[in-house]
Amino acid sequence: MRVLERLFWRSERAGRPQGSSLDQVPGNESQALGDLSGELEHPRSGFRDELAVRDSTHAHSDNSGGTGTDRAIPALSKRLSGGGASGESTTMVRAFPEHQRLKAFQELECLAFDEKGNFERRAVSRLELLRAARSVQSALIDYPPLLSDSGDDLSQEQIAKLMKRRQKRIHEYRQNFLQIRDLRQIDPSFASKTALWVRQNVLIISLLHIRALIFADRLLLFDPDAPEVQETSLVIRERLRSVPVDRDVYAPFEFRALEACFICVCNALERELGAFEPYLMQLLEDLSRESTMQKIESLRMLKLRLNGFLAKAQDIRQTLKSVLDEDEDMARLYLTELRKQHGKPRTTEDHEAAEQLLESYLQLVDHVHNRAELLDAATSDTEDLLSIQLDAMRNRLLVLDMSISVVTGAFSWADVVIGLFHMNLQLPIYGENGGSVGWFIGVVFVMLAWALLLVAIMFTWIRRSGLWHA
């Protein structure tokens, strides 16, 4: 039996994922759940004690005619939980006082909504959130027997197979659990990241300003002091009150809560786009007629806002698509049904209602995203038009510079003549009286005529070569 106890202890530690809140307390899973159940008895938590679910499951197994092997695991768990005379295991579990555990998990302010739309402000700890998300699934572990029906010890090979089976079931049981790292998405002290994660018994929402956890019977909306969140709380309250609770077959609570969050997200996207869309369209129209530095600077600022909006809309779009592409996530969206069936999920093909809900709001997000993309395309076209106008202006400046260079080159040969006449030489044209008016006028006329002829020749060649158009 000591070999079985050691194997049982190792399997418990091997099947526990790292980073889980249950890793903070030594011992096996029964010890951890029993130790953490004390906080659920606090009136503020309001969450169900998952240890009671575990105990009721074992009691049902014993009363339904279970064999000796079915009753072996609870007995062995009781021994490992400190049922021995020494009580050493109980001492290890109780080594962390309750107030120290609560201090380790920082409390988060939130608005808690019930199924009728009523809400109140409260503070919840991360421990409460983790335990609430795991309350339903605590009854799902099907312990494989370690002893035979006759009570005889099993062989080492049989024990190894049973341990392997049990580790596999624990691994499947712990898949998609709500983890400590997941709570970063709803913590206002961390930067927001677009996310819609489907975990066991809970939905994690981080869309724009909305950070929420949706359970089968409640919604927790975090960061209640933000003005956007206060406005969102009113929308969620009206949405939850608009549908009677007895119609949960057609509109379960999690779908109504999720739809209320989607409505707030779509409204926020519409408002943000409508805040600058008219100004940007008017600015683009003005720039097509006349461009100034002030208008170009305004275009740059609005383009930055548009790029930020496109990034947020694209993130939300990809998040919804990623959930639609995963059939398992779609099936786990039915939290109410999961609770009624004691954690048994529906088939991965039966999720038509969830698919319709996500697709309808994905189309709305696509519509807003497409409007923003059209606006971005119009902005790019205007930028191209401005670039063409600037190129044309630069070309005109180049033509002007070329014209000035041609005229300057045409008259530059006159400097040679002037330089020659400045020489200290005896020329016949000066005559006895030191000069002649006729020669002066003749030389000037010849210089101007030659310069004008040269300019005409050069401009004619430039036009024919296509370098300049009148």
Give dist(CA 210, CA 230) in Å, integer. 10
Residue range 404-413: average pLDDT?
78
Interval 35-45: pLDDT, tens? 434 433 343 33
Question: Does 448 have pLDDT greater than 50?
Answer: yes
Higher-confidence residue of 203 and 107: namely 203
Q: Does the pLDDT value for residue 80 go beyond 60? A: no
Average pLDDT, integer, range 249-271: 90
**CB burial of residue 309 (10 Å; 0-12, 13-18, 19+):** buried
pLDDT at 327: 86
Least reliable range by pLDDT among 81-95, 201-215, 289-303, 307-321: 81-95
pLDDT at 24 exceeding the cut of 50: no
Whether 216 shows a pLDDT value over 50: the answer reads yes
Least confidently predicted of 144-153, 415-424, 449-458: 144-153
- Within the chain, all domains assigned CATH 1.20.58.340 are found at 238-391
Return the pLDDT at 434.
Answer: 53
Q: Which range, of 238-242, 268-272, 427-431, averages the lowest pLDDT?
A: 427-431
Label each residue of the chain as H, E or C: CHHHHHHHHHHHHHHCCCCCHHHHCCCCHHHHHHHHHHHHCCCCCCCCCHHHHHHHHHHHHHHCCCCCCCCHHHHHHHHHHHHCCCCHHHHHHCCCCHHHHHHHCCEEEEEEECCCCCEEEEEEEHHHHHHHHCCCHHHCCCCCCCCCCCCCCCCHHHHHHHHHHHHHHHHHHHCCCCCHHHHHHHCCCCCCCCEEEEECCEEEEEECCEEEEECCCCEEEECCCCHHHHHHHHHHHHHHHHCCHHHCCCCCHHHHHHHHHHHHHHHHHHHHHHHHHHHHHHHHHHHHHCCCHHHHHHHHHHHHHHHHHHHHHHHHHHHHHHHHHCHHHHHCCCHHHHHHCCCCCCCCCCCHHHHHHHHHHHHHHHHHHHHHHHHHHHHHHHHHHHHHHHHHHHHHHHHHHHHHHHHHHHHCCHHHHHHHHCCCCCCHHHCCCCCCHHHHHHHHHHHHHHHHHHHHHHHHHHHHCCCCCC
Share of the chain above pLDDT 70, in %: 63
If you average pLDDT over every residue of the chain, what do you get? 73
| Spatial separation of the C-alpha atoms in residues 335 and 331, rounded to whole Å | 9
Higher pLDDT, 85 or 335: 335
Q: How far is it, in rounded angstroms, from Cα 286 to Cα 275?
A: 19
Q: Is the pLDDT of residue 401 over 70?
A: yes
Tell me if 182 sits within 8 A of 193, measured CB to CB: no
- Is 70 exceeded by the pLDDT of residue 193? yes
Q: Does the structure show a pLDDT above 80 at 76?
A: no
Residue 16 has which token pair? 């526990």
Checking if the pLDDT of 47 tops 50, the result is no
Top pLDDT among 301 and 399 is at 301
The predicted model gives 113-129 an average pLDDT of: 90
Question: Using 50, 70 and 90 to split pLDDT, how confident is the model at 99?
Answer: low
Q: Quote the pLDDT of residue 325.
A: 92
The pLDDT assigned to 420 comes to 66
Contact (Cβ atoms closer than 8 angstroms) between residue 104 and residue 95: no
Q: In what order do the strands lie in the sheet containing 219-222?
A: 119-125, 107-113, 219-222, 210-214, 202-207, 195-199
104/127 Cα distance (integer angstroms): 9
Q: Could you give the CA distance from residue 377 to residue 303 in angstroms, rounded to a whole number?
A: 11
Q: Is the pLDDT of residue 392 over 70?
A: yes
Helix 253-289 and helix 293-325, axial crossing angle in degrees, nearest 10: 150
What's the pLDDT band for 96 if we cut at 50, 70, 90?
very low
Higher pLDDT, 274 or 160: 274
Q: How far apart are CA 462 and CA 401, in angstroms?
A: 13
Binned at pLDDT 50, 70 and 90, residue 243 comes out as: low
Strand partners, 125: 107
Across 40-49, 109-118, 234-243, 369-378, least confident range: 40-49
Confidence of residue 322 (pLDDT cuts 50, 70, 90): very high
Domain 238-391: give its CATH superfamily: Magnesium transport protein CorA, transmembrane region (1.20.58.340)
Residue range 262-288: mean pLDDT, rounded? 94
Residue 173: its pLDDT value, please? 64
Residue 162 pLDDT more than 70? yes
Least confident residue range of 29-38, 228-237, 423-432: 29-38
